[in-house]
Structure 1
Amino acid sequence: MIKRQLTLLFFFISLSVFSQELYKGQVYDEITKSVHTYSDTLKLDFYTAKEAVENKDRPLLILVHGGGFTGGKRDNPLESEFCKTMATKGYAVASISYSLTRKGTATGFGCNCPADEKISTFKETTSDILKAIDYLKIAGDFNFAHDKIVLVGSSAGAEGVLNTAYLANYPGFKDLPMMSIAAVVSFSGAVMDARYITPQNAVPAFLVHGEKDKLVPYATAAHHYCDPTDSGYLFLDGSSTIIKKLKDLNASYYFLSDPEGTHDWAGLGFRYTDAIAGFIFDVVVNGGKVQFSEEVSQ
Structure 2
Amino acid sequence: MKYKILVVICSLSFVVFSQTKETYIYNIKHVDTLKLDVYKPKNIKQGDSLPAVLWMHGGGFAGGSRANIDEVKFMEYLTKNGYIGISISYRLLLKGSKTGFGCDCPKTFKIDVFRQAVIDYLDAAKYIVENKTKLQIDPTKIIAGGSSAGAEGVLNAVYLKHFFVDDVSKYKNVNFAGAISLAGALVNANYISGENAIPTVLFHGTDDNLVPIGKAPHHYCDPDRLGYLILEGSEIIADRLHNLKASYYFQKTVGGKHELCQIPFPELDNILDFFDKTINKKQVIQTKYITQKN
TM over 0.5: yes
Aligned match for 1:38, one of 9, 22, 26: 26
SS for the counterpart of 1:198 is coil
Give the % identical residues: 40
Are residues 246 and 102 of structure 1, via their aligned partners in 2, closer, same or farther at CA, if it must alter by over 3 Å? same
Structure 2 unaligned blocks of 5 or more: 1-18
Equivalences, count: 267
Are residues 158 and 53 of structure 1, via their aligned partners in 2, closer, same or farther at CA, if it must alter by over 3 Å? farther
Bigger shift: 55-64 or 86-95? 55-64
Is it true that 1:54 corresponds to 2:27 in the alignment?
no
SS for the counterpart of 1:145 is strand
Aligned match for 2:119, one of 121, 127, 132: 127
Residue 161 of structure 1 is matched in structure 2 by 154
Deviations 1:3-60 (A, max 9, x none): xxxxxxxxxxxxxxxxxxxxxxxxxxxx631111111111111101122253544211
Residue 82 of structure 2 is matched in structure 1 by 90
The normalised TM-score by structure 1 is: 0.86
CA distance in 1, matches of 2:59, 2:250: 23
Residue 198 of structure 2 is matched in structure 1 by 203
Is it true that 1:290 corresponds to 2:278 in the alignment?
no
Task: Report matched runs for 1:2-151 at 5 Å.
Answer: 32-40=20-28, 41-54=33-46, 56-139=48-131, 140-151=133-144
CA distance in 2, matches of 1:173, 1:243: 24
Cα RMSD for the two superposed structures: 1.5
Are residues 57 and 288 of structure 1, via their aligned partners in 2, closer, same or farther at CA, if it must alter by over 3 Å? farther
The normalised TM-score by structure 2 is: 0.87
Are residues 268 and 39 of structure 1, via their aligned partners in 2, closer, same or farther at CA, if it must alter by over 3 Å? closer
Deviation, structure 1 residue 268: 4.9
CA distance in 2, matches of 1:174, 1:245: 25
Structure 1 unaligned blocks of 5 or more: 1-30
Are residues 182 and 55 of structure 1, via their aligned partners in 2, closer, same or farther at CA, if it must alter by over 3 Å? farther
Are residues 181 and 76 of structure 1, via their aligned partners in 2, closer, same or farther at CA, if it must alter by over 3 Å? same
Deviations 1:265-290 (A, max 9, x none): 10153442111111111112222211
CA distance in 1, matches of 2:45, 2:158: 26
Is it true that 1:185 corresponds to 2:180 in the alignment?
yes
Question: Based on CA coordinates, which of the two structures has the bigger radius of gyration?
Answer: 1
